[in-house]
């Protein structure tokens, strides 16, 4: 029955544009073969089909690179149907995604994505940073939307092929990288709201320059109480398309008030949750002089960020003595716990607030210098070069790993 | 750098996919002409361009009509850019929407939609039901997502043209109609999360049969506390794509527990908010014998439904004596107020719960016979034919208006 539909799409291509006519429905179709359920194919890297572009592009000069504006020559496409499972993975020239106007991604946001980076190491090797974490989260997001899951290690192999094919698009300058954007969308052309019976996984890549070409620049946050990013029972812990568009007006309103990002506050207690599209860390100095590194817990509202996890792991390794980091105090209390604006303000007033920063794939670490909150500004200390005393050694180690200066099993060779 | 990228897209076109030809980027472009800001074009029905299909389809028999599965021959497309405003509106053969794989609708759910119906009246006239309400809400949704707004009356004129052109697709059988689905999506091919500088408004139509071909069928609801549909500061009051995909797993989990729809409960008090994708009404009988028609208030979490508004208006007109409805008690207290599960359970126990129903464009009125709540079922009375004593006269009037049996200014002649 899919056949009819795809025949129509092909005829559409021939005519330029034409009716997609669903003569029959894919709803409720299941493959039944005797008593044994058929095991449907997963993503299979050994079956990869590659079609190279005839018109390769050229990497623009570093000065012209802006996040997510330039894309490489090729992309991955793997389609899925409820009846047939995952198709053969394909690497093809970068090109349009052609959807039925009734495709569920367009109407109901059946869509999720990931973001990770590939780095060119000093010795020429190309590595990706912790792709297993992205694959795990991508599958978790897929389950939350009743979209199909897949073998993350298999997709990683296909992504490696794509990165190898487009490796000339990874800039050679230090601090540059290739941003990799996998996405999974529901493509059924049926307006009923239900689990998609057809989906498309695709991956595109964009060369990016350093986040801080001119040194760290702390950002002022707007403590947002009018808009939310997430709520209990919602989707804040998943990397869903649906979590992002609603934040745009909040960001605009923060910008109009003179701030750069939203600090998303939750509940009447104004718990700090995230910063813009980053996780959040707060550093406090206790009355005993011990430094506490606080980040909100993964309570269902917080995105389980790869950089968040990496910062926590580096800090824990330092404290455990597995891998000491220069510049950090020997003892650090590491807390995944809720924290309110009242506590941050009190710490700021008493001089016990050491620093506050966001973490994410793009910036790695983003220092904060103030929070506009209920009409006044809460001052946040920042170090002489813009970054605080705890985040800086963590940032240095993390960037060292990503760029190959520090060896780590987190780097996966492409 | 955009150039290289779009050249890739064009090369893809040669291979079967169709081209999006962005010769230059719209990012940050603004039309500046001396001191006076240029007034950008709105949607202009007088400039409508129509391209008819060469391969018209055929309306399937009524028995084969399922919601949102079959589409008519044509569709509307109107594109928008930040620099140029709204394009000439076009009616074209129904065909695919070709997007850059980095289009923001695919990654960040920059998308919203509407749903309304056109009816074939006994005298052959075709009418739409309260399209002004949908246009108003569509613009309100657009503002919430920083997508462009437009002249709703103008789009209504273009939709009328589409309905006239495809009028053979409106089934002639009683209770049938043409479901009209306008949608607006962000189409920028830029991965930054920001207000789109390019968008596409499109409208597709699908013939539909009656919601209750075999008489009313009350549904059991699952009182949902694990998942939310909306929260204060969120987007529940807007018809955004982002509100729908996250509900699919909740619906699946309700179905697995033997219920048909989710009853979305809010907060520790378990306020009743909506039913599946419908608004919600509860009818109570006070100790003074007066009937109270309750619906949750438009507090930012509730979608301002057209059927909700129509039911309230009909009930108010009845009470005011403007237009009495047979079968309704003379006196009805009409309340837009919060209501908790505790109040519903207490009314159910004391015999003061008269009925509970959902309202929406698809079902008009959907009676409920029980609510599964924290492990047990709350019984809801239903009338002998499945519908309650208050909803039935309201439903009858509303359907009478929509199908032309009752005259009303709510009907807009196509």
Which residues in B lie closer than 8 A to residue A186 (C-beta atoms)?
245
Is the Cβ–Cβ distance between A54 and B11 less than 8 Å? yes
Nearest CA in chain A to B112: A107
Q: Is the CB of residue B98 less than 8 Å from the CB of residue A97?
A: yes
Query: Quick one: B143 and B224 in the same domain?
Result: no
A372–chain B nearest CA distance, Å: 18
From CA A224, how far away is CA A373, in angstroms rounded? 8
Of B244, B254, B245, B106, the C-alpha closest to A143 is B245
Which chain A residues are within 8 Å of B277, Cβ to Cβ? 193
Q: Which residue has the higher pLDDT, A52 or B64?
A: A52
| pLDDT at position B87 over 60 | yes
- State the CATH number of the domain containing residue B168: 3.30.470.10
- Tell me if B71 and A231 make a contact (CB, 8 A cut-off): no
Please tell me the predicted confidence (pLDDT) of residue A32: 40
CA–CA separation, B147 and B39 (whole Å)? 17
The mean pLDDT of B393-411, rounded to a whole number, is 96
Indicate yes or no: CB of B69 within 8 angstroms of CB of A233: no
CA distance A235 to chain B (A): 7
In chain B, residues with a C-beta closer than 8 Å to the C-beta of A67 are 191-192
> Token pair for residue A217?
């620049």
The packing angle between helices A131-144 and A306-320, to 10°, is: 130
- Strand duo A90-93 + A97-99: pairing: unpaired
Count of structural domains within chain A: 2
Per-residue pLDDT tens digits for A263-282: 999 999 999 999 999 999 99
**How many angstroms separate the CA atoms of A131 and A279, rounded?**
18
Closest CB to B20 among A96, A101, A248: A96
User: Residue A17 domain-assigned?
Assistant: no
The H or E element containing residue A173 is none
Per-residue DSSP letter, A362: T
B117 and B239 share one domain = no
Nearest chain B Cα distance for residue A315, angstroms? 30
Other beta carbons within 10 angstroms of residue B288's beta carbon come to: 7
Range A234-243 burial, b when 16+ CB lie within 10 A, else e: bbbbbbbbbb
* Chain B interface mutation, best of A189, A248, A361, highest count of B Cβ atoms under 10 Å: A248
Taking a C-beta distance cutoff of 8 angstroms, is the pair A341, A190 a contact? Answer: no
Which residues sit opposite A373 in a β-bridge?
A: A376
The shortest CB-CB distance from B95 to any of A17, A146, A191 is to: A17
Do residues B187 and B261 both lie within one domain?
A: no
The residue among A176, A171, A61 whose CA lies nearest residue B1 is A61
Report the number of secondary-structure helices (H) and strands (E) in chain B: 8, 22
Residues of chain A by 3-state class (helix, strand, coil), percent to 5: 25, 30, 45
Selection from A224, A243, A246 nearest residue A234 by Cα:
A243
Say if residues A91 and A162 touch (Cβ distance below 8 Å): yes
The residues pairing with A340 across neighbouring beta strands, listed in sequence order, are: A271
A234·B246 Cβ contact <8 A = yes
**Contact (CB<8Å) B145/A249:** yes
**pLDDT of B1 above 80:** no
- Would residue A355 count as lying in a domain? yes
Residue that finishes a domain, picked among A177, A208, A239: A208
Q: Please say if the pLDDT value at position B2 is more than 70.
A: no
Which of B13, B246, B267 is best to mutate for the A interface (most A CBs within 10 A)?
Answer: B246
Give the nearest partner residue to A108 out of B5, B191, B245, using CB atoms. Answer: B245
Cβ <8 Å between B93 and A19: yes
- What angle separates helix B131-144 from helix B152-165, to the nearest 10 degrees? 120
What is the SS3 string spanning chain B? Answer: CHHHHHHHHHHHHHCCCCCCCCCCCCCCCCCEECCEECCCCCCCHHHCEECCCCCCCCCCCHHHCCCCCCCCCEEEEEEEECCCEECCCEEEECCCEEECCCCHHHHHCCEEECCEEEEECCCCCEEEECHHHHHHHHHHHHHHCCCCCCCHHHHHHHHHHHHHHCHHHCCCCCCCEEEEEEEEEECCCCCCCCCCCEEEEEEEEEEECCCCCCCCCCEEEEEECCCCCCCCCCCCCCCEHHHCCCHHHHHHHHHHCCCCEEEEEECCCCEEEEECCEEEEEEEECCCCCEEEEECCCCCCCCCCHHHHHHHHHHHHHHHCCCCCCCCCCCEEEEECCCEHHHHHHHHHHCCEEEEEEEECCCEEEEEEEEEECCEEEECCCCCCCCCCCHHHHHHHHHHHHCCCCCCCCEEEC
Clarify whether residues A137 and A104 are in a common domain: yes
How many Å apart are CA A185 and CA A106, to the nearest integer? Answer: 9
Same domain membership, residue A243 and residue A191: no
Q: Is residue A293 included in any domain, yes or no?
A: yes
Residue A216, pLDDT score: 83
In this structure, is residue B62 part of a structural domain? Answer: yes
Is A204 in the same domain as A337? Answer: no
User: The CATH number of the domain where B288 resides is what?
Assistant: 3.20.10.10
pLDDT digits (tens, 9 = 90+) for B12-59: 333 333 333 222 333 333 334 455 667 999 999 999 999 999 999 999
Query: Does residue B357 lie in a domain region?
Result: yes
B226 shares a domain with B132: no
B340 and B378 Cβ atoms separated by less than 8 Å: no
Cα B37 to Cα B27: distance, rounded to the nearest angstrom: 18
Please check whether residues B242 and B201 belong to one and the same domain.
no
Asked if B104's CB is within 8 angstroms of A71's CB, the reply is: no
Tokens of residue A150, six digits: 């897949």
Residue A270 backbone class (left: φ over 0; alpha: ψ -120 to 50; beta: rest): left
Are A183 and A112 a contacting pair, CB within 8 Å?
yes
Each residue's pLDDT expressed in tens, for chain A with a length of 414 residues: 232 322 222 233 333 332 332 223 333 333 344 556 679 999 999 999 999 999 999 999 998 898 899 999 999 999 999 999 999 999 999 999 999 999 999 999 999 999 999 999 999 999 999 999 999 999 999 999 999 999 999 999 999 999 999 999 999 998 899 999 999 999 999 998 999 999 999 999 999 998 877 778 899 999 999 999 999 999 999 999 999 999 999 999 999 999 999 999 999 999 999 999 999 999 999 999 999 999 999 999 999 999 999 999 999 999 999 999 999 999 999 999 999 999 999 999 999 999 999 999 999 999 999 999 999 999 999 989 999 999 999 999 999 999 999 999 999 999
Among B178, B208, B238, give the residue marking a domain's end.
Answer: B208
CA distance B290 to chain A (A): 37
Structural domain range at position A69:
43-208
Q: Residues B271, B166: one domain?
A: no
| Statement to judge: residues B116 and B156 lie in one domain | yes
- B148 part of a folded domain: yes
Residue B218 token pair: 């009350």
- For residues A178 and A314, state if they share a domain: no
Number of neighbours of residue B386 by Cβ within 10 angstroms? 15
Residue A320 within any structural domain of the chain? yes
In this complex, the residue of A206, A228, A248 whose CB is nearest that of residue B193 is A248
**Together in a domain, B180 and B257:** no
Of A208, A242, A266, which closes a domain? A208
Chain-chain contact of B93 with A190 (C-beta, under 8 angstroms): no
Set of chain A residues whose Cβ sits within 8 Å of the Cβ of B362: none
CA distance A336 to chain B (A): 23
CB B305 within 8 A of CB B359: yes
State how beta strands A219-224 and A261-266 pair.
parallel
pTM value is 0.91
Determine, for residues A111 and B57 on separate chains, whether the beta-carbon distance falls below 8 Å. no
- List chain A residues with CB under 8 Å of B143: 249
A365 CA to chain B: closest CA distance, Å? 18
In terms of Cα–Cα distance, which of B214, B133, B128, B113 is closest to B170?
B128
pLDDT (tens digit, 9 = 90+) per residue, B252-297?
999 999 999 999 999 999 999 999 999 999 999 999 999 999 999 9
Q: B74 pLDDT exceeds 70?
A: yes
10 Å Cβ neighbour count for B21? 9
Report d(CA B367, CA B383) in Å as an integer: 9
User: For residue A251, how many C-alpha atoms fall within 13 Å in the half-sphere facing its CB?
Assistant: 17
Report residue B134 as tokens.
């949908």
Whether A3 is covered by a domain: the verdict is no
Whether the Cβ atoms of residue B20 and residue B11 lie closer than 8 Å to each other: no
- Going from the C-alpha of A38 to that of each of A84, A94, A319, the distances in angstroms are 9, 33, 50
Local structure of residue A235 (DSSP, 8 states): S
């Amino acid at each position: 029955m899919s056949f009819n539909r795809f025949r129509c799409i092909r005829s559409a291509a021939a005519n330029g544009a034409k009716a997609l006519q669903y003569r029959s429905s894919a709803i409720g179709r299941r493959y039944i073969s005797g008593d044994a359920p058929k095991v449907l194919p997963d993503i299979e890297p050994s079956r990869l089909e590659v079609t190279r572009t005839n018109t390769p592009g050229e990497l623009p000069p570093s000065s012209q690179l802006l996040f997510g504006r330039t894309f490489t020559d090729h992309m991955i496409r793997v389609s899925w149907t409820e009846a047939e499972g995952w198709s053969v993975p394909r690497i093809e020239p970068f090109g349009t995604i052609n959807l039925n106007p009734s495709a569920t991604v367009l109407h109901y946001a059946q869509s999720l994505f990931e973001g990770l980076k590939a780095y060119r190491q000093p010795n020429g090797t190309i590595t990706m940073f912790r792709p297993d974490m992205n694959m795990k989260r991508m599958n978790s997001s897929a389950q939350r939307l009743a979209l199909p899951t897949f073998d993350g290690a298999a997709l990683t192999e296909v992504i490696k092929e794509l990165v190898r094919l487009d490796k000339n698009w990874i800039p050679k300058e230090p601090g540059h990288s290739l941003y990799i954007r996998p996405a999974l969308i529901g493509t059924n052309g049926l307006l009923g709201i239900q689990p998609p019976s057809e989906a498309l996984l695709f991956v595109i890549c964009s060369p990016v320059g350093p986040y801080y070409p001119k040194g760290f620049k702390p950002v002022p946050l707007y403590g947002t109480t009018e808009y939310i990013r997430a709520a209990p029972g919602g989707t804040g812990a998943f990397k869903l398309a649906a979590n992002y568009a609603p934040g745009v007006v909040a960001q605009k309103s923060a910008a109009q008030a003179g701030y750069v990002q939203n600090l998303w506050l939750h509940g009447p207690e104004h718990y700090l949750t995230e910063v813009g599209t980053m996780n959040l860390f707060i550093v406090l100095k206790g009355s005993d002089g011990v430094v506490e590194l606080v980040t909100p817990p993964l309570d269902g509202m917080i995105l389980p960020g790869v950089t968040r996890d990496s910062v926590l792991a580096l800090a824990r390794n330092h404290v455990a003595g597995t891998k000491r980091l220069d510049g950090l105090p020997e003892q650090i209390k590491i807390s995944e716990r809720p924290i309110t604006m009242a506590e941050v303000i009190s710490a700021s007033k008493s001089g016990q607030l050491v620093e506050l920063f966001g973490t994410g794939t793009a910036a790695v670490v983003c220092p904060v210098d103030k929070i506009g909150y209920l009409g006044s500004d809460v001052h946040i200390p920042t170090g002489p070069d813009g970054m605080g005393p705890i985040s800086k050694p963590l940032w240095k180690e993390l960037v060292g790993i990503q760029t190959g200066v520090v060896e780590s099993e987190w780097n996966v060779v492409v």
